[in-house]
Amino acid sequence: MKLTLKIWRQANASDKGAIKTYELDGVSQDMSFLEMLDLLNEQLLHNDEEPVAFDSDCREGICGTCSLMINGEAHGPEVTTTCQLHMRSFKDGDTITIEPWRASSFPIVRDLIVDRSAFDRIIQNGGYISANTGSAPEANSVPAPRDKAMRAFNTATCIGCGACVAACPNGSASLFLGAKITHLGELPQGQPERYSRVQTMLAQHDAEGFGGCTNIGECASACPKEIPLDVISQLNKDLRNSMILG
C-alpha cells in the first residue's frame, strides 16, 4: 500500500512543533502500525532526515507504552493498543494523521512521545495496599468471593496507557483512577485503606491538572482494555462514603 502520513514533529518540550507530511510506499497489510513507522524511519534515515520518535516496548498490547493519536482517535480506529493495530485496518492511498496524546498533564517530550509520570505520582498517593514484605498471612486464609475477584481482575487490567485522558475533552484521568480504586476496593485486603485511598489519589489527580469528569464517556470507548465506565461511579461512591465514613 501507499500512504500519506501527516506527523507531528517537535524537537523538544520547548519547541513549537508542526505537522510534516511524508509519502510512504511498500506498506503491507500484515504490518503493525508501529512496524509501518519503522519502515518510514528507515526511509528517513536514508534521506538524512532524523527519524520520528515514538514510544513502544512490548509491542504485545500489555506494557502501555505506545501512545498515538491516529486520525484524531487515541490508538486509532480499533479498540486496541497502537502496537496491536494492523495496517489491514487501512486502505491503499489513505492519508493518516499521527499526533501525540493530547492533554496538558502529559507534556510533549519529543515528536510523538509524552511524559506520563503524573500517573506514577497518582499511584504514589495511595494506589497500593500497604503490605510489608515477609509478614503476609497464608494466602488462602482470606477467601475472596469469586465475583468480586473477577471484577477486581477486570479493572486491574488497566495498562496505564493514558488513552482515556487523551480521548477526554476535559483531560480527565477518572477512568484510570476509577480502575485502580475498583481493583483494590473490591478485594478484602483493600478494605482498611479504602476510604483514605480515594481521597489521596483524587487529590493528586487534581493537583496534576487533570480535568474533572462530566460523564462524556469518550474514555471508555477509547480504552484498549475495555475498562467499564461504571468504575467512575464506584469512584464517586467511594468518595461520598469516605466523607461520611473516612
Partner 1 sequence: MAAGTHYLPGLTPTNEAPVQKSDDAAGYYVLGEKLVDPKTPTGPIADRWTTRKFENRLVNPANRRKLDVIIVGTGLAGGAAAATLGEAGYNVKSFCYQDSPRRAHSIAAQGGINASKNYKSDGDSDYRLFYDTVKGGDYRSRESNVYRLAEVSTNIIDQCVAQGVPFAREYGGLLDNRSFGGVQVSRTFYARGQTGQQLLLGAYQAMERQVAAGTVEQFTRHEMLDVIIVDDRARGIVARNMVTGEIETHLADAVVLATGGYGNVFYLSTNAMGSNVMAAWRAHRKGAYMANPCYTQIHPTCIPVTGAHQSKLTLMSESLRNDGRIWVPKNAEDCTKDPRNIPEADRDYFLERIYPAFGNLVPRDIASRAAKYMCDEGRGVGPEVEETQPDGSVKKFRRGVYLDLGAAIERLGKDKIEEKYDNLLDMYERITGENPYEVPMRIYPAVHYVMGGLWVDYELQTSVTGLFCTGEANFSDHGANRLGASALMQGLADGYFVLPNTITDYLADGPFDKIDESHPAVVEALDGVTSRVEKLMSINGERSVESIHKELGQIMWEYCGMDRREEGLKTAIGLIRELKKEFWTNVKVLGSAESLNQDLEKANRVADFIELGELMCIDALNRRESCGGHFRGESQTDEGEAMRHDDEFAYVAAWEFGGEDGAPILHKEDLIYTAIEMKQRSYK
Footprint (CB under 6 A) of ligand SF4, residues 151-180: 158-164, 175-176, 179
18-24 β-sheet, strand order: 18-24, 3-9, 95-99, 69-70, 73-74
From residue 119 to residue 158, the character string flagging contacts with ligand SF4 as x (rule: CB under 6 A) and all else as - is ---------------------------------------x
Contacts of 139 (CB under 8 A, 6+ apart): none
Least Å from the CB of residue 205 to ligand FES = 23
Determine if 80 is a binding residue for partner 1 (CB under 8 A). Answer: yes
Nearer to ligand SF4, 70 or 164 (CB): 164
Tracing cell 516496548 back to the chain, one arrives at: 57
C-alpha dist (Å) from residue 117 to 65, 123, 190, 202, 219? 12, 10, 24, 16, 19
Residue 230 contacts which entry, ligand SF4, partner 1, ligand FES, none (Cβ below 5-8 A, type-dependent): none
Residue number, 65 or 204, with CB nearest to ligand FES: 65
Restricted to residues 6-65, the positions that interact with ligand FES (CB under 6 A) are 56-59, 61-65
Asked if residue 191 binds partner 1 (CB under 8 A), the reply is no
Residue 77 touches partner 1, criterion: CB under 8 A: no
Closest by CA position to 154, among listed 57, 85, 220, 66: 220
Q: Indicate which single residue of 122, 184, 227, 232 sits in contact with ligand SF4 (rule: CB under 6 A).
A: 227
223 binds, among ligand FES, ligand SF4, partner 1, none (CB under 5 to 8 A by kind): ligand SF4
**Residue 81 or 105: which CB sits closer to ligand FES?**
81
- The CA-based angle 80-81-85, given to 5 degrees, is 75
* 183-186 own/partner pairs: CB under 8 Å, 24+ apart: 183/152, 183/153, 183/155, 183/156, 183/158, 184/127, 184/128, 184/129, 184/152, 185/234, 185/238, 186/148, 186/149, 186/151, 186/152, 186/155
**Closer residue to partner 1, CB minimum distance, 38 or 216:** 38
Interacting residue ranges for ligand FES, rule: CB under 6 A: 56-59, 61-66, 81-83
